[in-house]
Structure 1
Amino acid sequence: MALSPVRFAWQDSRGMRRRLVLYVSAMALGVAALVAIRSFGINLERAVEEQSREVFGSDLEVRRGAAFSDTTEALIDSIRTETEAAVVREVSFPSMARFPQSAGGEGRTRLVQIRALDGPYPLYGRVETTPADAGRLIGRDTTGALVDGTLLLQMEAAVGDSVAVGDRSYPIVGQVDGVPGQTDIAGLVGPRVYLPLANVDSTLLGFGSRVRYSTAFRFEDEAAGLDAALPRLDAADVRYETAGEEQEEVSEASGYLTRFLSLVGFVALLLGGIGVASSVSVYVSEKAETVATLRCLGVSSRRVLAAYALQALALGFVGAALGALLGIGVQRLLPEVFASFLPVDVDNAIALRAILEGIGVGLGTALLFALLPLVGVRRVPPLRALREDARASGFDPLRWLLGALLVAAVGGFAYLQTQSWVGAAAFVGGTAAVFALLALAATLVRAVVRRVVRPGLPWAWRQGLSNLHAPGNQTLVLLLTMGLGVFLVLALGLVQRSILEQVALPSQEAGAPDVVLFDVQPTQVDSLRGIVESQGLPVVDEVPLVSMRIAALNGVAVDTLSERADSSFAGTDGGPERWALRREYRSTYRSETVDSETVVAGTFVGTAGADDAVVPVSLESELALDLAVGVGDRITWDVSGAEIETEITSLREVDWARVSPNFFAVFPAGPLDEAPQTSILLVRAGSPEASARLQSAAVEAFPNVSAVDVRLVLALIDRVLGRVAFVLRFMALFAVATGLVVLAGAVRVALAQRTREAVVLRTLGASRAQVRRILVAEYALLGVLAALTGGLLAVAGAWGLARFAFQIPFAPDVTWLLWALLVVPLQTVAVGLAGSRGALRQPPLAVLRAEG
């Protein structure tokens, strides 16, 4: 018999197209996630490339943590003159800003980031301000200040008021609404005040201040300017960074983001694939008699497989195309969702490459998942046309080959996103483990239910339980899809809760400090303590700070070690990290450890003689790893020009999440008592009002002193974490939405079986309400099981993230689990009843006639 696979595929699908709509929908959602994320990623890459100079602000930036030497200043002037570059000089540092006219005239204070500028800022891009022309005053005006709009809102101040920084007051000439390269999150954590460099209070730049000096260049010819400048800066050992280096860093970070999001989208696509496999499996079982009849008529099994494969291919293409269109719409939401975290403005341009990739991956996934059950049509014997129990048995190598190909395809996609075989293996292994555990749970459920159904149970519940293990049940598919969605959403929520537990408000702890006064000079300590006590507040602790750098490790100079760290063998020879050698350390001295640290090696030494030749020191354990040192090794420290030889006597594990002063290096009391230093005072205010009064009084008396309200810091952390959690949950919704569609699909493909069951029950005298109660019982139990299995996996996954990724104690919030146990069953019942309405509406006689 001559049979065209294309013609047969088209004719055979006529009665089944509406039933396979959910097959298409499942794939469409998965492809939509991929297309939206990939398009967003391509537009993000383009934005980083086009706006890198606006983000960086210049072609070249020379920077230092202290004032430039006369030699460096002369070199900078020489480069500027020779290249005819535009130059902006900047001094940035944290300081207290006072707004005397805010809050009904009482005034407010706030720790801010000062950017003191001189020159045509910005060299690239444009600062958005109110009024619009105020941006041109930054770096040029010698009297006024421009302030972040969010800060003005918090301080209840406005343009025309004044702001005091140090001993000087500046009229607010403009509100800054947007700066190239500054994210919303950065504005929340460190609001900016822009001042004229020539009119900055110089006392704020003295000893102990955390000041960064920089000079930015914009060349007429970038390549020629860099060729002229970089060799001279290298020869003078001056630290610098170029726009190209910044672009590479931002591109790498954005690449991590888009690859992670792509994996989330791919999980949604895999869920859609499971729905496809389920739909096709039921479809094939219903077509078994048709296939057997064709085999009796002489049609080969290959032609039959080709016909059904063409159906799957066509449906997969339709689903992928619809998903691409939906993805274009979803793509427009992503720049808004991620706007708070991105230093560039991402547009909504349609990326043809993303559409083609999404359609290709979606089509391949649909075909692979569909072929797994479809290959079974090759093994349908002709005898099945006469005997329903006639089935092929034995090992099917093609099905195993397709399974291996599917795993390889998943691994290949994961590798493209992670650029790591280890990462790809972890993704495949993790996904397989979750699927395997959910499948095991489904198997256990069916086995347990078969044994627990007893005549004493209510009839509707007994029937609903029996449906979980009845022939053609959808227990496995539903637990896989719903359980994975529950797992993704709950794991994110539980991890967020654990992080927030680590930064609990100090007011919950009796006597804990909630105001930190720092940059206190030695001559100011007693007076500042008097101000605190005059307001009836206790000073909880006083912590000295000594600035220092590493001069040598075990007698080897830091310059020599830095050269080795910069060599091609860096990172492979176990040597020290360059950042750890070059950074400035703010260390302290005390006679004992504090609650936020634990000695993990050696013995902490609390006191030593002021004239000891070798001073004991305790090092933070992670820093010791980066410096490649341990107990017994020696470090030479440069403390304001004087070298101090130390020996590591202990290593400490520090809980950096605790809101308290923590340090990399802790010295014993004695040797550093007379070293140049500043102090931190920890105060317990007890209320926001008392904190505000204290900050105002302290900054009024000592403008160089900065104050931090710990409540404000924790509130900012909470807001930042809230935004991160929103983003992650938004992405998890792709998987949840796909799971709902697959759930509806599983209900829909089992509609024929549900209809026959309903007819039998109705024929035996059951009412529609009783049949509906059976369905409610079945789907409610499935929802509860999905919530339980997904919840348990989420607890395990969140524990692993908290323990190994964030290294914090796991503090789960049981309310998340309770909400899941309530919402997921209701959701499952709603979808199940909606998909089973056809079974309830069918009159018994019509179905019996069709069956007869």
Structure 2
Amino acid sequence: MAWRDAKASRVRLLLFMSSIILGISAVVAIQLFSENLSDNIQKQSKNLMGADYIIDTRQEPTERAQEIIDSLKPDAKEVNFVSMIAFPKNGGTKLVNVRGMQGDFPFYGSMKTEPIYASSIYQERNGALVDATLLLQFDIIPGDSIKVGKVTFPIIGALKSVPGSNALSTSVAPPVIVPYNTIDATELLQFGSRKEYQFFYKASDTLDLNAFESKVDPMLDIANADLDTHTSTSRRLGRRYENVGKFLNLAAFIALLLGCIGIASSVHIYIKEKLKAIAILKCLGASRKQSFLIFLLQISGIGVLGGLIGSSIGVALQGLFPYILKSFLPFEVEMSISIQPIIIGILLGLFMSVLFALIALLHTWYVSPLKVLRISEEPVQPRIVRTLVFCAIMLFLYLFSLWLLKDATYALVFVLGALITFIVIAVVANFFMKLVRRFFPKSWSFTARQGLLNLYRPNNQTVVLILAIGLGTFLISTLYFTKDILLAKTEVGPTAENANIIILDVQSNQRQEMESQLKTNEVPILDNIPLVTMRMHKIKDKLVNDLKQDTTRQVRGWILNHEFRTTYRDKLIASEELIAGKWKPSLEKNEGIVISISDNLAEDAKVDIGDKIVFNVQGVLMETTVGSIRQVDWGRMQLNFSIVFPKGVLEDAPQFSVFTTAASDEKASAKLQRNLVDKFPNVTIIDLRQVFNIVEDILEKVSWVINFMAFFSIITGFIVLVGSVRTSKYQRIKESVLLRTLGAKNTQILKISALEYLFLGALGSLVGILLALISGLCLALFIFQEPFTPSLIPFIVFLPGITLLVLLIGLSNIRSVLSSSPLEVLRREV
């Protein structure tokens, strides 16, 4: 009976099934990709690092650290730092990551260059390997030269990739590799320069890296160095991309939820039309169990088949994700297919189809044989049954979310958040419908009034359609509003009041000449900030070295190993707000040193007003007292400091300076940078316009990924719409007959339907955009603490675009309605 009835209703059942196919295909594709990503990270962990383990330190290794490094006999070493370089051929300048390399690194994987042999000869020829994209930007080819500090290197080859790097890191500072023994001659490493020393090791196969790390890393930690093995690096990388996978999974899960809501609504209408036939079966002796199982088997078949089709599509779709995420991946992912996600997809289709259709299916259990005789007889479900079904649905959603997230709290928050979002959209949709119904002009034409009233007809699915359309629109609109907030935080203004160029590492003996050079280039000196480097020696009578070995400490690890760059001044700046204590602008002779610290430093170091901190200022111990705590807006594009000293303390300490200035346009900025690199090869120049462009590019890539996932929600919403139209097709034919009998023409019926879909599309997309406005405002005020200026894209593109699509889909599905004659309906009734 289930099979025969399904054959007669196969088109409608296929539409029900299509509602969940997209969601399942997305979940399966992402699950397969996540598995492949995890496998690739484990298999390629050595290739990603290029070595078995690395010892690194942010400054020249201490005596103890050097002893450990030498005892392990490094196979290769590197010093890397950010600096300006110049191309003598055309005068171009660029901020790059200079890597001075010695030894046959990498030991695993390869350094890809053009020509191929360039990576094996650049050291013996004292040449440079330059990022391939950088060469294209400045129209430079191998054979030309590059000036790094005081040294001009021949360019041996174009550098395409190095183990451990990715597209995002190289976009900020492209790599330039030169021989290690030439670094001193460049004269770029001066007092205060930010640099990193790395020592690469190739281990024997018998070495237990985990045991080795647990023994050596604590010793290096005390000596201000760090140990990374390829296994620990792959674990960190795996956790990072696991979070990306969780986000993608949840986005796909939302699309699946939309499809399930479409199934619930469609099955409700489908079963409602079958109730009379079920009542007849019961009159003929069919039991409750038999009538229930007929339709349970149908829905189960839909779920299994939908899961199978969705899983097949997911297998094909997984190949897209390496392309979508290629900017975020430091390696190429080799794709393979495993059976587990496919089985999960099939089971997911079965359970979610049955669960979301269960309330409608239970009507078959409670329908009375009197339904044959009494048209108004409706099956009544006990409240306890509906409650149990709802609880079963919520429990399944929670367990599935827990499986995706591996965290009970996050899973609960997600399920509650999804539930609240669905409820809010449904409530807002109902509210808008009531407003439209109440205040709709009575004087409008018959077709306009009838189109509106169609929203309220029985079995119309209006709320479900608005929910599907609204949620998809909400996801994409929220993305655009959030993106605007993030870009606003990094925006660089063109006015002279805002610095758009930062000049770092200006030595004490270069200050006057730097000031003179800036005046010569007719740019303002906005800031001349002194910097003094220091480390913490003692925190509240506890030595930092003792704290490093204390496994029960509450002080965060970065505090103990960090080299702080501090400054001194007599006033707060715009990005700071005093939240505790009293600001000390300057100190008199023989007065105790009082400092101001940022709120995050106070939290991580577990210090408060009045606590003592002893600093090691380049070999000199200095005792200070916390006098004030500041809240710092680290999101601003300007120099902010965790520690600020008052004037009258650090003036005689070894220091260097940071200048900020503003160039009127890109041409003036390029000219200034050329002149400064020529006069001061050791300084680092950051053009905030370029930083802004990089940030915008990163956000565009993130936007693309999120748009891709929101696409599933939008498409699922449209499938639910098509299913709804097909489900109510015969009801529309009846209405068409009645309207024609009363004298209506095809053009009038077409207008009525067009207006109905116009209302649906406009209302759904408007609800989604308005809710996205509220969420964007909350994000701006409470998360980013920025003024909210919404993007116009959702209003000028999404609102009319989605409305038009809904209209076209609706009209394309009523062609048969317009072509059906009254006799067709009469014969069907007979």
For normalisation by structure 1, the TM-score amounts to 0.94
Please give the alpha-carbon distance, in whole angstroms, between the structure 2 residues aligned to 1:704 and 1:612. Answer: 37
Q: Match for 2:448: what amino acid? A: W
2:150 corresponds to 1:172: no
Q: Where in structure 2 are there 5+ consecutive unaligned residues?
A: none
Aligned residue identity for 1:29: L
- Please point out which of 534, 552, 556 is paired with 1:548: 534
Separation (CA, whole Å) in 2 of partners of 1:126 and 1:364: 48
1:517 aligned residue? 503
2: CA distance, partners of 1:93 / 1:464: 68
Letter in 2 for 1:752: Y
Match of 2:194 among 210, 215, 218: 210
Post-superposition shift, 1:588?
1.0
Instruction: Report which stretch shifted further, 735-744 or 842-851.
Output: 842-851
Distance 1:302 1:809 in 2: 61
Question: Residue 501 of structure 1 is aligned with which of 452, 473, 488?
Answer: 488
SS at 1:170 equivalent: strand
Deviation of 1:779 (Å): 1.2
Select between 54-63 and 266-275 the one with higher mean Cα deviation: 54-63
Letter in 2 for 1:552: K
Give the structure 2 partner of residue 123 of structure 1.
107
> Could you say which residue in structure 2 is the equivalent of 1:629?
607
Measure how far apart 1:454 and its partner are.
Answer: 5.2
Asked if the contact 1:142/1:198 (under 8 Å) is kept, the reply is no
Match of 1:423 in 2: 410
Asked whether 1:223 is paired with 2:211, we answer no
CA distance 1:304–1:549, change in 2 (3 Å): same
Distance 1:216 1:630, change over 3 A: same
> Cα offset for 1:820?
2.6
User: Would you say the 8 A contact 1:166–1:201 is kept in 2?
Assistant: no
Q: CA separation in 2, counterparts of 1:159 and 1:749?
A: 66
**Structure 2 CA distance for aligned equivalents of residues 161 and 737 of structure 1:** 52
CA distances 1:88-122 after superposition (whole Å, capped 9, x unpaired): 10101111111111xxx3x1111111111101111
Amino acid across the alignment from 1:391 = E
Secondary structure in structure 1 of the residue aligned to 2:51: coil
Distance in structure 2 (CA, Å) of the matches to 1:537 and 1:158:
33
Deviations 1:268-308, CA, capped at 9 Å, x for gaps: 11111011111111110110111010010110111111110
- Contact 1:453/1:466 (8 A) holds in 2: no
Tell me, yes or no, if the aligned pair for 1:279 and 1:749 is still in contact at 8 Å: yes
**1:289 corresponds to which residue?**
276
Q: Deviations over 1:491-546 (max 9, x none)?
A: 11110011001111221x34322221110001001111111111222212111111
2:137 to 129, 154, 163: 154
1:353 and 2:343 correspond: no
Q: Aligned match of 1:87 in 72, 75, 94?
A: 75
> Which consecutive unaligned segments of at least 5 residues does structure 1 have?
1-7, 81-85
- The answer as to 2:735 corresponding to 1:735 is no
Q: Which residue of 2 aligns with 1:193?
A: 176
Structure 2 counterpart of 1:9: 2
The answer on whether the counterparts of 1:79 and 1:229 sit within 8 Å (CA) in structure 2 is no
Which digits, 9 at most, give the CA deviation of each residue in 1:201-225, with x for residues without a partner?
3522221110111101011325267
The equivalent residue for 1:83 is: none
Distance 1:287 1:228 in 2: 70
Asked whether the equivalents of residues 615 and 621 of structure 2 are also in contact (C-alpha less than 8 Å), the reply is yes
Any conservation in 2 of the 1:434–1:793 contact (CA below 8 Å)?
no
1:690 matches 2:657: no
* Displacement after TM superposition at 1:190 (Å): 1.7
- Tell me, in whole angstroms, the C-alpha distance in 1 between the residues paired with 2:193 and 2:812: 66
Q: Deviations over 1:219-252 (max 9, x none)?
A: 1325267767874564464531211111111111
Q: Is the 8 A contact 1:519 1:680 kept in 2?
A: yes
> Could you tell me how far 1:322 is from its partner in structure 2?
0.9
CA contact 1:273–1:365 (8 Å) conserved in 2:
yes
The answer for the alignment partner of 2:253 in structure 1 is 266
**Match of residue 77, structure 1, among 46, 70, 81:** 70
Q: Which one of the candidate residues 514, 521, 524 is aligned to 1:535? A: 521
Cα offset, 1:616, TM superposition: 1.7
How far apart are 1:172 and its partner, in Å?
0.5
Question: What amino acid does structure 1 have at the position aligned with 2:498?
Answer: A
Asked whether the 8 Å contact 1:130–1:176 carries over to 2, the reply is yes
1:803-848: per-residue Cα shift (whole Å, max 9, x none)? 4444544332244234332122112111111222221221122223
Distance 1:809 1:95 in 2: 35
Which residue of structure 2 lines up, in the alignment, with residue 442 of structure 1? 429
Q: Is the 8 A contact 2:492 2:498 kept in 1?
A: no
Does the Cα contact within 8 Å between 2:6 and 2:13 map onto a contact in 1? no
Alignment-derived partner of residue 560 in structure 1:
546
User: Structure 1: which amino acid aligns with 2:11?
Assistant: R
Matched letter for residue 244 of structure 1: T
Mapping 1:248-327, distance limit 5 Å = 248-327=235-314
Is the 8 Å Cα contact of residues 490 and 817 (structure 1) preserved in structure 2?
A: no
Measure how far apart 1:144 and its partner are: 0.4
Kindly indicate whether the alpha-carbon contact (under 8 Å) linking 2:429 and 2:764 is maintained by their aligned counterparts in 1: no
Residue matched to 1:704: 682
Which deviates more from structure 2 when the two are superposed, residues 831-840 or residues 772-781? 831-840
* CA distance in structure 2 between the partners assigned to 1:637 and 1:407 by the alignment: 55
Distance 1:581 1:799, change over 3 A: farther
Match in the other structure for 2:624? 646
Partner of 1:5: none
Give the superposition deviation at 1:446: 4.2
Alpha-carbon distance in structure 1 between the residues aligned to 2:510 and 2:92: 22
For residues 358-415 of structure 1, what are the alpha-carbon distances to aligned partners after superposition, in whole Å with 9 as ceiling and x for unaligned? 2211221112112221111111111111221111335243332121111001111111
2:49 maps to amino acid: F
> In the TM superposition, what is the alpha-carbon distance from 1:70 to its structure 2 partner?
4.7
User: What's the CA shift for 1:576?
Assistant: 1.6
- The answer as to whether partners of 2:370 and 2:377 remain within 8 angstroms in 1 is yes
Aligned ranges 1:16-95 → 2 under 5 Å: 16-80=9-73, 87-95=75-83
Matched residue type, 1:337: I
| Letter in structure 2 aligned against 1:116 | G
Contact preservation (8 Å) 2:18, 2:306: yes
What amino acid does structure 2 have at the position aligned with 1:111? L
1:98 matched to 2:86: yes
Indicate conservation of the 8 Å contact 1:30/1:362, yes or no.
no
Q: 1:486·1:790 contact (CA, 8 Å) conserved in 2?
A: yes
Correspondence for 1:379 among 356, 359, 366: 366
Task: Provide the secondary structure at the position in 2 that maps to 1:332.
Answer: helix
Residue 657 of structure 1: CA displacement?
A: 1.9
Secondary structure of 2:526 counterpart? strand
- Displacement of 1:612 after TM fit? 4.1
Once residues 59 and 104 of structure 2 are traced to their aligned partners in structure 1, the CA distance between those partners, rounded to angstroms, is 23
1:515 and 1:685 in contact (8 A); partners too: yes
| Residues 1:314 and 1:155: Cα distance change in structure 2 (over 3 Å) | same
Which residue identity does 2:462 align to in structure 1?
T
- Alignment CA distance shift 1:232-1:530 (3 Å): same
Partner of 1:659: helix, strand, or coil? coil
| Residue of 353, 369, 377 corresponding to 1:390 | 377
Partners of 2:381 and 2:14 lie apart in 1 by 33
Q: Does residue 813 of structure 2 align to residue 831 of structure 1?
A: no
- Structure 1 residue 418, shift from structure 2 partner: 2.1
What is the Cα deviation at residue 669 of structure 1? 1.5
Q: CA–CA distance in 2 between the matches of 1:226 and 1:656?
A: 36
Change (3 A) 1:515 1:447: closer
Instruction: State the distance in 1 between where 2:625 and 2:137 align.
Output: 48
The equivalent of 2:97 in structure 1 is 113
Give 1:586's aligned residue. 565
TM-score (normalizing by structure 2): 0.96
**What value does the CA root-mean-square deviation take over the aligned residues?**
1.9
Q: Which residue of 2 aligns with 1:332?
A: 319
